[in-house]
């Protein structure tokens, strides 16, 4: 081994007068020459300029330097520049470091003498660091160019279509037998009032027929392992008791099935059979048997579906199937649910038949809904003459329910009131609201349309809803006049708060973080809104927070483009400033394993089987260095931030 003494060159930038105006650069150069163990110290007007960079390159060649310190502005500005410069003449870029003597020195003091002192010390700390810097190479990770999209509502479908169209295979998974999500339940959509099914169904069919998309419906995630680019996911496809290869979706079995149970798709407003198709336009157009309700599977008698199926598709001995998938990226598109009934006690929700939530009213309005698009009320099928809409039912309510604004309710309530008025011309829609929030294209105009078409807006929150005879009495207030208001309504629609559909257990399974309400947290609320802090996981749609359809679709395309970006190469580079393990020193205590936020460290037995030690899964390590600080014996060392380096830097700053 040659002498391991580094040949360091220091370049001090004047930055015009930005640095030189406060820092006495000739003095800094003089002191460094005298005090620091370096080969060369040179100053230049603008190191980042072409002549400046050339000077660095020439000096490296001439003085046979192997390490470089540039004392200039913040590393956030020109660290990449100078690292590129030095690597063009054969120096490892990680052996070039920046001493920030502008933002953190010359700009923050007027005292020239002290500024000169401080600049010298800052440069010395960096020289000390460079002395022990190792040449590093970015880590290369292979990428499985296949994506898994969890949740097949409009967000999941859009994400899958975008990725698939870019040429990469996608698995689109949903827990329900059909794709489509909540959007398939909606009647018309704001602010254009086009029919939800009409715009969604073609997308559903496209997803089904796309050669790059594999649908896995009626499926749930069982477990997940691996890391960015290389995930292994176990999926449980629930027993359907119907052979989907034989089933044609003809519905003969559905007609014959004698067992009825509340229909989830219509939110309990109607009944479905034990063998059922989620809705007529279901994709795939297939039926499943809901085992707990099936007379044969539960009680051993019936088999009518089997008897009548023209294709012999009924398969009572069907089992759950476990499939293991290998994917490079996952997109969460798990969406939302509406708030639980229990949380709205004073509104009688869940107790009073004629108090429904927004999605139930969507079904009532829907042409394929329980009343075929005629507006009737659930209790007696009467046409409601007066419908009260209650906004912020559980939203903006930190004391009793959700603190946040659910964002979509102002618009969908206006829409529902307009649609009601279209169906029942003489009907009276009344909306109780706190604020009408119309931030969106065409939204304010749509609100105006609602008032134009005869919707009465009352500014005040409702306190109590109860039944009196066959009427539903609503106690509200008009805060603008200060009057308490009592309305005798026929039907009440609560704009209940949105809440995340993904459970805490599900998030823990995927090791994703959620906010206090359970919405998935993005990597950065403004600049990285579709990424998560876990590499390889992306967010689409309302699983991240309340969103309307255009927003959910836009974010889905954003998530898809992130996945596509990841898939453009079959490998990816990872920052090499990660932690390592000195096996000889490691005692195998495992302290570092608990400290690591990325699960990048694991206990292993050494190859000779003699001792326990820790292995770093390099691709998972993000280089925070927490393990290095925690290791009691100094075996864990972050590359280029080793104990020795930081201690030397401290010395350099105090000399």
Partner 1 sequence: MLELIESLQEIKKDIELLSGQTLSDCYQCGECTAGCPTAFAMEPVPSQAIRLLQLGKFNEVLNSTGIWLCASCNVCGERCPRGVDYGKIADALRTIVLRNKLTHLTLEKIDKQFISDAPQQAFIAAFRKYTT
Partner 2 sequence: MKQIAYYPGCTLYTKSKNLDLCARETAQILGVELKELETWNCCGAIYSTVQDDLANQVAPIRNLIEAQKISNKLVTLCAACYNVLKRSNHNLFLPENDIYRRRMMNFLDTEYDGKTETVHYLEVLKNDIGFENLKTKVKTNLDGLKVASYYGCLMLRPSDELNFDDPDNPTMMDDMFAALGAEPVEFPFKGECCGGYVLVDKPDVATRCSQTILESIVDAGADCVATTCPLCQYNIDNQQKLMSKQFNLPVFYFTQLLGLALNVDQKILNLDNHYIDPKPLLKQKGLLK
Partner 3 sequence: MENFEPKIIGFICKWCTSAGADLAGTSRMKYPPNMIPITVFCSSRIDPQYILWAFKNGADGVFMGGCHPNDCHYQDGNYKTMKRIPILKNLLKELGIEPERLRLAWISASEADKFKKTITEFTESIKKLGPLSINDK
Interface ranges with partner 3 (CB under 8 A): 74-76, 100, 102-105, 107-111, 114-115, 117-118, 121-122, 125, 513, 533, 577, 595, 597-598, 622-626, 628-630, 638, 641, 643, 646-647, 649-651, 653-654
The span from the first CA to the last CA of the chain, in angstroms, equals 31
Phi, psi of 433 (to 5 degrees): -140, 160
Assess 475 for contact with partner 1 (CB under 8 A). yes
Which does residue 485 touch among partner 3, partner 2, partner 1, none (CB within 5 to 8 A, set by kind)? Answer: partner 1
Nearer to partner 1, 271 or 463 (CB): 463
Q: Which of residues 358-417 bind partner 1 (CB under 8 A)?
A: 392, 396-401
Determine the Cα angle at 165 with ends 162 and 170, to 5°. 75
Which does residue 468 touch among partner 3, partner 1, partner 2, none (CB within 5 to 8 A, set by kind)? Answer: partner 2
Nearer to partner 2, 135 or 345 (CB): 345
Rounded Cα distance, 259 and 293, in Å: 7
Rounded Cα distance, 169 and 405, in Å: 37
Q: Which of residues 24-43 bind partner 2 (CB under 8 A)?
A: none
Secondary structure E strands in 199-335:
213-216, 219-227, 230-237, 260-262, 271-273, 275-276, 288-289, 321-327, 329-332
Nearer to partner 1, 346 or 647 (CB): 346
Q: How many residues bind partner 1 (CB under 8 A)?
A: 24
Contacts of 192 (CB under 8 A, 6+ apart): 442
Q: How many residues bind partner 2 (CB under 8 A)?
A: 10
387 touches 420 (CB < 8 A): yes
Nearer to partner 3, 71 or 375 (CB): 71
Nearer to partner 2, 54 or 346 (CB): 346
How far CA 96 is from CA of 64, 78, 83, 309, 387, in Å, comes to 14, 11, 6, 74, 71
The DSSP bridge partners found for residue 332 are: 150, 539
The minimum distance between CB 82 and partner 3, in angstroms, equals: 16
Assess 484 for contact with partner 1 (CB under 8 A). yes
Among 206, 251, 444, 478, binds partner 1 (CB under 8 A): 478
Which does residue 122 touch among partner 2, partner 3, partner 1, none (CB within 5 to 8 A, set by kind)? Answer: partner 3
Assess 346 for contact with partner 2 (CB under 8 A). yes
Among 88, 223, 463, 647, binds partner 1 (CB under 8 A): 463
How far CA 56 is from CA of 16, 40, 526, in Å, comes to 18, 11, 38
305 touches 256 (CB < 8 A): yes
Give the binding range for partner 1 (CB under 8 A) out of 57-65, 169-177, 186-194, 482-490.
482-490
Contacts of 214 (CB under 8 A, 6+ apart): 169, 170, 171, 172
The minimum distance between CB 512 and partner 3, in angstroms, equals: 12
Assess 434 for contact with partner 1 (CB under 8 A). yes
Contacts of 625 (CB under 8 A, 6+ apart): 579, 638, 641
Which does residue 460 touch among partner 1, partner 2, partner 3, none (CB within 5 to 8 A, set by kind)? Answer: partner 1
Nearer to partner 3, 367 or 633 (CB): 633
138 touches 159 (CB < 8 A): no
Assess 546 for contact with partner 1 (CB under 8 A). no
How far CA 484 is from CA of 80, 431, 432, 462, 466, in Å, comes to 66, 15, 12, 10, 16
Nearer to partner 1, 153 or 476 (CB): 476
DSSP 325-348: EEESEEEE---EEEPPGGGGGGGT
Of residues 56, 75, 45, the one with CA closest to residue 9: 56
Q: Which of residues 292-351 bind partner 1 (CB under 8 A)?
A: 346
270 touches 263 (CB < 8 A): yes
Q: The tokens 């014959």 sit on which residue? A: 256
The minimum distance between CB 65 and partner 3, in angstroms, equals: 23
Among 5, 64, 260, 351, binds partner 2 (CB under 8 A): 351
Of residues 144, 225, 234, the one with CA closest to residue 599: 225
Nearer to partner 2, 311 or 466 (CB): 466
Rounded Cα distance, 4 and 210, in Å: 59
Nearer to partner 1, 171 or 462 (CB): 462
Which does residue 305 touch among partner 2, partner 1, partner 3, none (CB within 5 to 8 A, set by kind)? Answer: none
The minimum distance between CB 110 and partner 3, in angstroms, equals: 6
Rounded Cα distance, 357 and 215, in Å: 31
Q: Specify the pairing of strand 386-393 against strand 428-433.
A: parallel
Nearer to partner 2, 232 or 351 (CB): 351
Rounded Cα distance, 78 and 39, in Å: 23
Which does residue 654 touch among partner 1, partner 3, partner 2, none (CB within 5 to 8 A, set by kind)? Answer: partner 3
The minimum distance between CB 402 and partner 1, in angstroms, equals: 10
Give the binding range for partner 1 (CB under 8 A) out of 41-49, 201-209, 461-469, 504-512.
461-469
Rounded Cα distance, 559 and 163, in Å: 9
Which does residue 595 touch among partner 3, partner 1, partner 2, none (CB within 5 to 8 A, set by kind)? Answer: partner 3
Nearer to partner 3, 120 or 176 (CB): 120
Of residues 150, 206, 201, the one with CA closest to residue 180: 201
> From its phi and psi, is residue 255 left (phi > 0), alpha (psi between -120 and 50) or beta?
alpha
In this structure, how many other beta carbons lie within 10 angstroms of the beta carbon of residue 579?
A: 25
Q: From edge to edge, which strands make up the β-sheet containing 483-489?
A: 464-468, 471-478, 483-489
DSSP H or E stretch at residue 456 = strand 456-459
Nearer to partner 3, 74 or 88 (CB): 74
The minimum distance between CB 434 and partner 1, in angstroms, equals: 4
Assess 476 for contact with partner 1 (CB under 8 A). yes
Q: Which of residues 439-478 bind partner 2 (CB under 8 A)?
A: 464, 466-469, 473
30 touches 62 (CB < 8 A): no
The minimum distance between CB 381 and partner 2, in angstroms, equals: 23
In this structure, how many other beta carbons lie within 10 angstroms of the beta carbon of residue 467?
A: 15
Nearer to partner 1, 257 or 344 (CB): 344
Nearer to partner 1, 135 or 345 (CB): 345
Which does residue 243 touch among partner 2, partner 1, partner 3, none (CB within 5 to 8 A, set by kind)? Answer: none
Which does residue 548 touch among partner 2, partner 1, partner 3, none (CB within 5 to 8 A, set by kind)? Answer: none
Which does residue 641 touch among partner 2, partner 3, partner 1, none (CB within 5 to 8 A, set by kind)? Answer: partner 3
Nearer to partner 3, 355 or 581 (CB): 581
The residues binding partner 1 (CB under 8 A) are 346, 392, 396-401, 434, 459-464, 475-479, 482-485
- Return residues touching partner 2 (CB under 8 A): 345-346, 348, 351, 464, 466-469, 473
């Amino acid at each position: 081994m040659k002498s391991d003494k580094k040949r360091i060159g220091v370049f001090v930038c004047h930055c015009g007068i930005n640095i030189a105006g406060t820092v006495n650069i000739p003095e800094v150069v003089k002191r460094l020459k005298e005090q620091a163990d370096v080969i060369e110290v040179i100053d230049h007007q603008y190191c980042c300029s072409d002549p400046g960079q050339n000077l660095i390159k020439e000096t490296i060649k001439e003085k046979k330097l192997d390490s470089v310190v540039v004392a200039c502005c913040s590393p956030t500005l020109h660290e990449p520049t100078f690292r590129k410069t030095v690597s063009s003449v054969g120096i490892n870029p990680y052996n070039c470091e920046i001493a920030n003597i502008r933002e953190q020195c010359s700009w923050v003091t007027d005292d020239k003498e002290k500024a000169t002192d401080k600049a010298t010390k800052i440069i010395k700390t960096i020289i000390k660091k460079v002395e022990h810097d190792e040449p590093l190479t970015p880590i290369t990770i292979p990428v499985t160019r296949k994506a898994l999209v969890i949740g097949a509502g409009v967000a999941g479908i859009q994400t899958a279509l975008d990725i698939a169209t870019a040429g990469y295979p996608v698995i689109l998974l949903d827990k329900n037998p059909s794709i489509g999500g909540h959007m398939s339940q909606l009647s018309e959509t704001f602010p254009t009032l086009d029919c939800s099914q009409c715009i969604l169904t073609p997308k559903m069919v496209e997803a089904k027929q796309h050669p790059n998309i594999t649908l896995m419906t009626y499926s749930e995630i069982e477990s997940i392992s691996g890391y960015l680019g290389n995930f292994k996911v176990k999926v449980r496809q629930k027993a359907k008791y119907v052979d989907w290869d034989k089933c044609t979706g003809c519905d003969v079995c559905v007609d014959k099935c004698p067992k009825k149970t509340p229909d989830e798709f219509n939110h309990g407003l109607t009944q479905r059979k034990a063998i059922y198709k989620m809705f007529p336009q279901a994709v795939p157009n297939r039926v499943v048997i809901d085992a707990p309700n099936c007379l044969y599977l539960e009680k051993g008698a019936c088999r009518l579906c089997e008897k009548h199926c023209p294709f012999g598709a009924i398969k009572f001995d069907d089992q759950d199937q476990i499939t293991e998938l290998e994917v490079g990226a996952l997109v969460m598109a798990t969406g939302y649910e509406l708030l639980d009934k229990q949380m709205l006690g004073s509104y009688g929700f869940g107790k009073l038949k004629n108090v429904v939530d927004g999605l139930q009213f969507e079904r009532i309005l829907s042409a394929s809904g329980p009343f075929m698009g005629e507006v009737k009320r659930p209790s007696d099928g009467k046409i409601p003459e007066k419908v009260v809409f209650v906004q912020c039912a559980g939203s903006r309510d930190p004391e009793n329910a959700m603190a946040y604004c659910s964002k979509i309710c102002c618009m969908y309530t206006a829409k529902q009131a307009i649609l009601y008025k279209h169906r029942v011309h003489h009907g009276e829609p009344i909306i109780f609201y706190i604020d009408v929030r119309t931030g969106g294209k065409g939204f304010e105009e749509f609100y105006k349309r609602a008032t134009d078409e005869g919707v009465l807006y009352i500014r005040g929150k409702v306190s109590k809803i109860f039944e009196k005879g066959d009427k539903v009495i609503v106690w509200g207030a008009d805060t603008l006049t200060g009057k308490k208001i009592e309305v005798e309504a026929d039907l009440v629609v609560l704009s209940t708060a949105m809440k995340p559909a993904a459970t805490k257990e599900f998030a823990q399974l995927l090791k994703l973080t959620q906010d206090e309400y359970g919405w998935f947290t993005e990597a950065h609320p403004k600049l990285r809104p579709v990424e998560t802090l876990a590499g390889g996981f992306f967010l689409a749609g309302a699983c991240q927070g309340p969103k309307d359809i255009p927003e959910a679709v836009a974010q889905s395309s954003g998530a898809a483009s992130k996945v596509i970006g990841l898939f453009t190469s079959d490998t990816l580079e990872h920052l090499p400033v990660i932690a390592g393990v000195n096996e000889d020193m490691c005692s195998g205590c495992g302290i570092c394993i608990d400290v690591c936020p990325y699960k990048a460290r694991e206990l292993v037995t050494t190859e000779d089987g003699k001792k326990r030690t820790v292995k770093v899964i390099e691709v998972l390590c993000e280089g925070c260095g927490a393990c290095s600080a925690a290791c009691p014996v100094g075996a864990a060392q972050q590359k280029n931030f080793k104990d020795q380096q930081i201690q030397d830097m401290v010395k350099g700053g105090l000399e």
